[in-house]
A and B are shown apart, each in its own frame.
Chain A
Amino acid sequence: MQIPPQAISNQINILIMSIKTKMRPFRHPKEQRLSDFPCGKEGILRTLPAPTSPEVLRLLEMGMVDGSLIKLLRRGPFGGPLHVAVCGTQLCLRQKEAALFFVQWID
């Protein structure tokens, strides 16, 4: 089986990003990827220090900035996109993009 190079570079990107997040000194113990966050919960959005992907930049510009309150409303059927409420609006984004954001639990 041949693995497409895109998938490999994606994985490497995610790995690098997760290392970067681990190096962050103030990392909250209850911090999770947005893509793994439970439905119906609210949390504080944490972005990676240096987002490079244009999708992340677009989401940042649409109000998904570090420190804002985010609520994961639901996931789409058949492993579909995520429906979130952030910055006074409702957005939907695919799992792949959601994996590039972190959410800090509110106790």
Chain B
Amino acid sequence: MDTFKIKPRVLLVGNPNAGKTMLFNRLTGLKAHVANYPGITVDLREGNLNLPSKNQVCVVDLPGTYSLYSRSEDETVTVKGVLGQLGPSSISDLIVAVVDATQLKRNLYLVSQLLDLKKPLLLALTMMDEVQRQGIEIKTLLLSQRLSVPVVSLSSVTGVGIDALLVEIDQWVKLQTAQVEPSRSTHSQTLHKPSATDITKRYQQIEVWLQGVLKNTIKTPKKKRFCADDILLHLFWGPIFLILVFAVMFESLFLGATPFMNGIENGISYFSNIVRSFFPDDSLIGSLITDGIISGVGSVIVFIPLIAILFLFIGVLEDSGYLARATFLLDRFMSKVGLSGRAFVPLLSGFACAVPAIMATRVIESKKDRFVTILVTPLMSCSARLPIYGLLIAAVFASAPPLWGFIEIGALVMLSMYGIGIIAAFGVAALLKRFVLKGPTPSLILELPPYRMPRWSSLAQNIWTRIWLFLREAGTVILAMTIILWGLFTFPRNETQQTTKNQSEIQAQIKNSYAGQLGQLIEPVVAPLGFDWKISVGILSSFAAREVFVSTLGVMYGLGHSQDETKMTLKEAIQNDINPQTGKPVYTPLVALSLMIFYSLAMQCMSTLAATKKETKSWRWPAFQFSYMTVLAWLCSFALFQAGSALGF
């Protein structure tokens, strides 16, 4: 029965940043992450494609490579895929060589290697819209005759030419059903290390292929026009612009998100008060729902606007092509510490989340350099730290007048938290490179992609995906943690004086709860950093996920207010928390800073440790990562708090 046959596969192979993933998204209707930077896809991705003839094929998006002689892990995946070593061997593959038509010559090098494999091959020239804008005409028919493979020109952005590609794929599928034995001969020649003469010969061959294929329709020679790189990569203006970009990013992160956050915060406390009114004052269920779930999960949801703005900026940087320029500008620092130039993107994606960032290190060729990058990536402030920074800054620093009238102190504090993470990452990398994972300074070989306008639809899609992930985490891990924490804060219950509880009795009740006892047990360890037992509970709970710190405080202060007064927001609760011994606020600017530094440096993320374990294939490295980061965080907070206290802050 033919209906149960395994679907034929279509492999998308091509140079990095040739637009394979965008074509993949076009063909399958999936929404994989794309960016204008080489090496975003590091693993293969599969999706289904329905052809016009009702046949279905499996489309595989492979990581980009310049050559079939692989050097890094992501390229090895591609080479294996091309040779048919991935998946069951009975599947027949069609290789679709995705060729960036604006860089035909360089892209054809890989094609010439693919041709040697003698496998079914199809050329897809992408970015034809850009080629036409440049006034260049490509004679696809001539190229097709010379290479004796079908050539389709298309544009994944506009969708022109996709139908022609589908027809070609369809024809191949029909041929497959007629053919009994799929040809899977492996030509091993290209997999050896190529010699310089081999490479030169291939390029000479490409010159022959391309003769008369490219035709410039603009007759007059182009004058040297204004080039954005002249300013953006300028020795002096380049770094200034880079600083400006990040300054604007943090300022808008701070100013732009605040009104939305206040809105959500008020909405949640309004909602909480309504829910509260349905339950009698002493009902445990009512307390679980309002003080536990709504305060706990709600306090985290408040930070969605911050996350959205962060990903908007990261998205614009990626899609515009500026990211590669930033790599160029900052490479000197990277090479000074001995980091590979290719470590820049993993480190930068560390601002979003360390888990995909650690996976992105697969583009780094040398294993030692890759491990160094994996070990320091979690020091970059990820988006899970944003709620903690956001909460503490809003509670402690928001009332401070802006510096020079326009620089918000809060934005400055946030910027310095990110700065501390970056400095720590570079410092640790330098030490690791010097003493643990010694090796030569790696190279940087990076293609600078052309500037492109960010596509707002895919940007919105990406932001929405991130918000959705965040919400899902809030609905699962954080929800579960808040229920556990609510239980730990509520029991053992003081049953004797149920009817009239005043503020101090409630405080005593919380302090005597299981969570309170646990916090007081840990307190001596973190007291030198300026943290009390309440913060200790928060720190303990955030080993599940960092955001849980915020929900812990939410639950704690949610339970901590007496029933007759109106509910305070978490921010107000923090501002009003008074140390009973000294009579001063618990959250002084110094304590807040010490706490934020602790959070920026400490390893409190199980998923990151799991990712490190997966990528290094050993328990040693995640254990090392966990210990060094926690020790570093403790020492830095200790130094700051003790120095600050001695100076009288």
The reply to whether B448 and A66 form a contact with Cβ atoms under 8 Å apart is: no
* Complex Cα spacing A26 to B194, Å: 25
Is A29 on the interface with B (CB-CB < 8 A)?
no
Task: Select A92's contact among B69, B106, B444, beta carbons within 8 Å.
Answer: B444
Is B453 on the interface with A (CB-CB < 8 A)?
no
The reply to whether A78 and B332 form a contact with Cβ atoms under 8 Å apart is: yes
Is B130 on the interface with A (CB-CB < 8 A)?
no
Count: A-B pairs, CB below 8 Å: 117
Given A81-B331, A88-B106, A57:B443 Cβ within 8 A: no
Interface residues of A in 55-106 (CB under 8 A from B): 55, 57-63, 65-68, 73-81, 83, 87-94, 96-97
The reply to whether B71 and A54 form a contact with Cβ atoms under 8 Å apart is: yes
What size tier do the contact residues of chain B reach?
35 or more
Which chain B residues border A75 with CB–CB below 8 Å? 235
* Complex Cα spacing A54 to B218, Å: 40
* Complex Cα spacing A68 to B199, Å: 13
Given A80-B329, A88-B105, A55:B443 Cβ within 8 A: yes
Interface centre among B66, B229, B331 (most CB of A within 10 A): B331
Minimum Cβ distance to chain A for residue B80 (Å): 19
The reply to whether A96 and B441 form a contact with Cβ atoms under 8 Å apart is: yes
Is A2 on the interface with B (CB-CB < 8 A)?
no
The reply to whether B199 and A65 form a contact with Cβ atoms under 8 Å apart is: yes
* Complex Cα spacing A40 to B235, Å: 14
Is A51 on the interface with B (CB-CB < 8 A)?
yes
Which chain A residues border B486 with CB–CB below 8 Å? none
The reply to whether B448 and A91 form a contact with Cβ atoms under 8 Å apart is: yes
Which chain B residues border A50 with CB–CB below 8 Å? 196
Is B104 on the interface with A (CB-CB < 8 A)?
yes
* Complex Cα spacing A80 to B328, Å: 8
Task: Select B447's contact among A55, A62, A78, beta carbons within 8 Å.
Answer: A62
Given A61-B66, A65-B199, A74-B233, A92:B331 Cβ within 8 A: yes
Task: Select A91's contact among B239, B329, B447, beta carbons within 8 Å.
Answer: B447
Which chain B residues border A61 with CB–CB below 8 Å? 66-67, 69, 109, 194, 199
Minimum Cβ distance to chain A for residue B428 (Å): 20
Is A47 on the interface with B (CB-CB < 8 A)?
yes
Minimum Cβ distance to chain A for residue B480 (Å): 47
Which chain A residues border B589 with CB–CB below 8 Å? none
The reply to whether B109 and A63 form a contact with Cβ atoms under 8 Å apart is: yes
The reply to whether B445 and A55 form a contact with Cβ atoms under 8 Å apart is: yes
What size tier do the contact residues of chain A reach?
35 or more
Given A6-B440, A83-B233, A58:B447 Cβ within 8 A: no
Task: Select A66's contact among B102, B200, B443, beta carbons within 8 Å.
Answer: B200
Interface centre among A6, A66, A76 (most CB of B within 10 A): A76
Interface residues of A in 1-58 (CB under 8 A from B): 6, 10, 47, 49-51, 54-55, 57-58
The reply to whether A80 and B106 form a contact with Cβ atoms under 8 Å apart is: no
Minimum Cβ distance to chain A for residue B202 (Å): 9
Is B203 on the interface with A (CB-CB < 8 A)?
yes
Interface centre among B71, B233, B238, B365 (most CB of A within 10 A): B233
Is B446 on the interface with A (CB-CB < 8 A)?
yes
Interface residues of B in 25-45 (CB under 8 A from A): none
* Complex Cα spacing A89 to B71, Å: 21
Task: Select B448's contact among A59, A63, A90, beta carbons within 8 Å.
Answer: A90
Minimum Cβ distance to chain A for residue B248 (Å): 20
* Complex Cα spacing A58 to B104, Å: 18
Is B54 on the interface with A (CB-CB < 8 A)?
no
* Complex Cα spacing A67 to B167, Å: 40
The reply to whether B200 and A83 form a contact with Cβ atoms under 8 Å apart is: no
The reply to whether B447 and A93 form a contact with Cβ atoms under 8 Å apart is: no
The reply to whether A57 and B196 form a contact with Cβ atoms under 8 Å apart is: yes
The reply to whether A63 and B105 form a contact with Cβ atoms under 8 Å apart is: yes
Q: Which residue of chain B has the shortest Cβ distance to A9 in the bound complex?
A: B440
The reply to whether A62 and B66 form a contact with Cβ atoms under 8 Å apart is: yes
The reply to whether B238 and A77 form a contact with Cβ atoms under 8 Å apart is: yes
* Complex Cα spacing A96 to B103, Å: 26
Task: Select B341's contact among A63, A77, A79, A81, beta carbons within 8 Å.
Answer: A81
Given A63-B203, A94-B335, A83:B448 Cβ within 8 A: yes
Is B193 on the interface with A (CB-CB < 8 A)?
yes
Minimum Cβ distance to chain A for residue B45 (Å): 25
Which chain A residues border B67 with CB–CB below 8 Å? 58, 61
The reply to whether A88 and B104 form a contact with Cβ atoms under 8 Å apart is: yes
Interface residues of B in 307-328 (CB under 8 A from A): 324, 327-328
Minimum Cβ distance to chain A for residue B562 (Å): 59
Q: Mark B329-354, 1 if CB is under 8 A from A, else 0.
A: 10111010000010000000000000
* Complex Cα spacing A48 to B239, Å: 35
Which chain A residues border B335 with CB–CB below 8 Å? 80-81, 94
Which chain B residues border A58 with CB–CB below 8 Å? 66-67, 71, 445
Task: Select B332's contact among A77, A83, A97, beta carbons within 8 Å.
Answer: A77
A-B contact pairs, 9 of them (CB 8 A): A47-B196, A61-B109, A62-B66, A62-B445, A63-B203, A80-B328, A88-B106, A93-B446, A94-B443
Interface positions of B (Cβ within 8 A of A): 66-67, 69, 71, 102-106, 109, 193-194, 196, 199-200, 203, 229, 233, 235-236, 238-239, 324, 327-329, 331-333, 335, 341, 365, 440-441, 443-448
| Complex A-B, nearest 7 residue pairs according to Cβ-Cβ distance, in ascending order | A80-B332, A78-B332, A90-B448, A55-B443, A63-B106, A61-B67, A60-B199
Besides A57-B193, A77-B235, A89-B106, 9 other CB < 8 A contacts? A55-B443, A61-B69, A74-B233, A76-B233, A76-B328, A76-B332, A90-B447, A91-B445, A93-B443
